């Protein structure tokens, strides 16, 4: 690769944009525009390009693709996009327009879901889109890998055709189009991982949605074995009987020293309203456990998504490896949370350094949440997601620490669930050492591989999932 120390080539890039749209390491906004969620992924790019209009974006994409610079695209979220040379930031693409006649939203691809929630609540109060459940996750990163939402239980994956209507994209030669002009491209962008060009905007379906959701945290004493056993047992019973698409929850276990999440707790969601949510068909089973602290309240979908916003302070401060394993409903037995807690405790006992970046989160959902027709990725027969993170505070600890973290991460699934097939993971947490892309995409793999070769003939759009 030709690196950015080559002044002549660097000058050519700078000339394509106004000075205000180039950011070097001395800039006060460099860190904000380049920081990765996991510290070990940060390659400290030598120059950030931040175009503010489509014509500039087209010129930059065409030039970068034809160059020998190492480059990556960052769409504003918490992914691991970084490069040795050039980072193309999309954060200036931050518009949102709502069309009430068609109930659609067109949103710039450089935003987070928190940005979208805030703007939509002003432009179209009472509406929601099938978007990610975390405010600092990027719109593009989530949508291009499937996008699971609190609304997915009712409307399917965010990338499903009824939710993701179209994608505006700049191709490697600088051509700008809406992907619906080339239907196979649009299909691939619906969960196929992206990396076929640079997405500028999404057109999404908006739904009228209740403004009266019971949500918030039910917190439990983390040091009580009896409490953990009660939560684990009652959760399994609840999931076996609950099929209401308006109800879901997250169960999290984390080291008590973490400032981001309590040691044991539920983030609950009941779109039937507060009375139902605290009743027999909602989360009374959890509220009745001795020591439970009820921190729930009446929320909008924007409020619900905001609960996880505090974790953003962790961004770039840990070297972290994560995976999202897909779980069948019957696999969440009465000892599931106990095994998860034992695993977390055991790895921290073996290496205290892992206390700073390791966690277990079970995302409990309904049948339709992982399903979608006409998409590049969906998953039948799986219902929940076991999200596991392994990591250390601060900067990377070296190659050996990385290998150890990946090994511990891989073993977590066996310890908590049992054997897991290579394809039963979320694409958003792709770990090539653990997952197999062919198994992940199953019958879609060969088609995605062919489209990757067509739209990225030189393999320059890197990052994420490899179809080679």
Could you name the CATH architecture of 213-437?
3-Layer(aba) Sandwich (3.40)
Fold of 7-89: 3.30.43
For CATH 3.30.43.10, the residue range(s) in the chain are 7-89
pLDDT tens string 370-429:
988 899 999 988 999 999 988 887 766 677 778 888 888 888 888 999 877 778 999 988
For CATH 3.30.465.10, the residue range(s) in the chain are 96-209
Distance CA 2, CA 9 (A): 9
Pinpoint the alpha helices (H) of 335-398: 336-350
- Closest by Cα among 156, 157, 166 to 186: 166
Distance CA 78, CA 200 (A): 17
What DSSP state is assigned to residue 97? E
Pairing of strands 198-208, 247-254: unpaired
**Domain 96-209 in this protein, CATH class:** alpha beta
Q: The tokens 């009375």 sit on which residue? A: 275
What is the sign, positive or negative, of the torsion defined by CA atoms of 377, 381, 387, 388?
A: negative
Inter-residue contact 184 to 451 (CB < 8 Å): yes
Distance CA 91, CA 48 (A): 11
What's the alpha-carbon Rg for the chain, to the nearest Å?
22
CA distance between the termini of the chain: 20
pLDDT in the model for residue 4: 42
What are the pLDDT tens digits along the chain (468 aa)?
Answer: 334 444 557 788 888 899 999 999 999 999 999 988 888 888 999 999 999 999 999 999 999 999 999 999 998 767 678 999 999 999 999 999 999 999 999 999 999 999 999 999 999 999 999 999 999 999 999 999 999 999 999 999 999 999 999 999 999 999 999 999 999 999 999 999 989 999 999 999 999 999 999 999 999 987 788 999 999 999 999 999 999 999 999 998 865 445 445 579 999 999 999 999 999 999 999 999 999 999 999 999 999 999 988 777 777 778 888 899 999 999 999 999 999 999 988 988 888 888 777 889 999 999 889 988 899 999 988 999 999 988 887 766 677 778 888 888 888 888 999 877 778 999 988 888 888 899 999 999 999 999 999 999 999 998 778 887
């Amino acid at each position: 690769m030709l690196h950015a120390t080559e002044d002549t080539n660097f000058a050519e890039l700078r000339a394509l944009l106004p000075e205000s749209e180039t950011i070097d390491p001395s800039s006060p906004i460099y860190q904000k525009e380049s920081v990765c969620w996991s510290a070990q992924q940060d390659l400290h790019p030598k120059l950030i390009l931040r175009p503010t209009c489509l014509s500039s974006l087209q010129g930059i994409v065409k030039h970068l693709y034809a160059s020998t610079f190492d480059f990556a695209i960052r769409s504003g979220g918490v992914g691991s996009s970084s490069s040795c040379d050039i980072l193309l930031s999309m954060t200036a693409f931050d518009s949102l327009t709502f069309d009430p006649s068609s109930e659609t939203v067109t949103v710039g691809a450089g935003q987070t879901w928190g940005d979208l929630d805030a703007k939509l609540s002003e432009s179209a109060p009472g509406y929601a889109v099938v978007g990610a459940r975390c405010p600092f996750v990027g719109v593009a990163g989530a949508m291009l890998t499937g996008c699971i939402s609190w609304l997915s239980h009712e409307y399917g994956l965010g990338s499903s055709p009824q939710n993701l209507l179209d994608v505006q994209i700049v191709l490697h030669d600088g051509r700008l189009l809406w992907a619906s002009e080339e239907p196979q491209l649009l299909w691939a962008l619906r969960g196929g991982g992206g990396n076929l060009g640079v997405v500028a905007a999404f057109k999404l379906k908006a739904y009228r949605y209740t403004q009266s959701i019971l949500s918030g945290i039910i917190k439990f004493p983390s040091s009580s074995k009896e409490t953990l056993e009660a939560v684990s047992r009652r959760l399994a019973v609840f999931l076996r009987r609950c099929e209401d698409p308006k109800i879901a929850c997250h169960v999290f276990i984390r080291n008590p020293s973490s400032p981001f999440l309590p040691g044991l707790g539920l983030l609950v969601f009941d779109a039937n309203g507060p009375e139902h949510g605290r009743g027999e068909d909602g989360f009374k089973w959890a509220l009745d456990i001795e020591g439970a602290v009820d921190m729930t309240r009446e929320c909008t979908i924007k409020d619900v998504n905001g609960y996880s916003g505090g974790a953003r302070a962790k961004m770039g401060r840990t070297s972290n490896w994560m995976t999202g394993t897909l779980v069948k409903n019957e696999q969440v037995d009465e000892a599931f949370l106990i095994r998860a807690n034992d695993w977390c405790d055991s790895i921290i006992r073996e290496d205290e350094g892992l206390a700073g970046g390791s966690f277990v989160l079970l995302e409990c959902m309904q049948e339709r949440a992982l399903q979608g027709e006409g998409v590049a990725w969906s998953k039948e027969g799986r219902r929940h997601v076991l999200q596991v993170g392994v990591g250390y505070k601060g900067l990377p600890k070296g190659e050996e620490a990385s290998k150890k973290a990946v090994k511990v991460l891989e073993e977590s699934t066996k310890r908590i669930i049992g054997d897991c097939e290579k394809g039963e993971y979320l694409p958003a947490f792709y770990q090539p050492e653990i997952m197999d892309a062919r198994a992940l995409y199953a019958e879609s793999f060969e088609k995605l591989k062919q489209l990757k070769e067509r739209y990225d003939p030189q393999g320059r759009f890197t990052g994420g999932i490899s179809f080679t």
